[in-house]
């Protein structure tokens, strides 16, 4: 109740932080406290990722790997493996 009476100005109740006007010094320090610093450049945090090798350069080595795997597992029934 004393808070409401203090709003009317009829009492000597002091409302702490709600009392008084904001001074320019306080608003400046509040502005500094609320300021958000810009983040550092993202290039500093991201790893260097090499570019993807073009398909034309990797097709022949990849085909060799597939052919070798097919020869090693030639006894398997591929229709059963693919249908699963």
Q: Which of 42, 45, 25, 21 is nearest to 33 (CA)?
A: 25
Residue 20's domain spans which residues? Answer: 2-32
In a domain, 41, yes or no: no
In a domain, 24, yes or no: yes
In a domain, 23, yes or no: yes
In a domain, 12, yes or no: yes
In a domain, 56, yes or no: no
Question: Looking at the whole model, is its pTM more than 0.85?
Answer: no
Q: How many domains does the chain have?
A: 1
In a domain, 65, yes or no: no
Say if CB 30 and CB 17 are below 8 A apart.
no
Per-residue pLDDT of the chain (84 residues; tens, 9 = 90+): 677 776 666 555 555 555 555 555 566 788 888 889 998 888 888 888 899 989 899 999 999 998 898 888 777 777 777 776
In a domain, 8, yes or no: yes
In a domain, 69, yes or no: no
User: What's the Cα-to-Cα distance from 28 to each of 22, 42, 63, 82, rounded to whole Å?
Assistant: 10, 30, 68, 70
């Amino acid at each position: 109740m004393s808070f409401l009476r203090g709003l009317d100005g009829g009492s000597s109740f002091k409302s702490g932080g709600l009392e008084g006007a904001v001074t320019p010094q306080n608003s400046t320090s509040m502005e500094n406290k609320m300021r958000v610093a810009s983040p550092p450049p993202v290039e500093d945090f991201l790893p260097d990722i090499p570019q993807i090798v073009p398909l034309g350069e990797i097709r022949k080595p990849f085909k060799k790997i597939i052919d070798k795997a097919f020869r090693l597992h030639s006894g398997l029934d591929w229709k059963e493996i693919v249908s699963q």
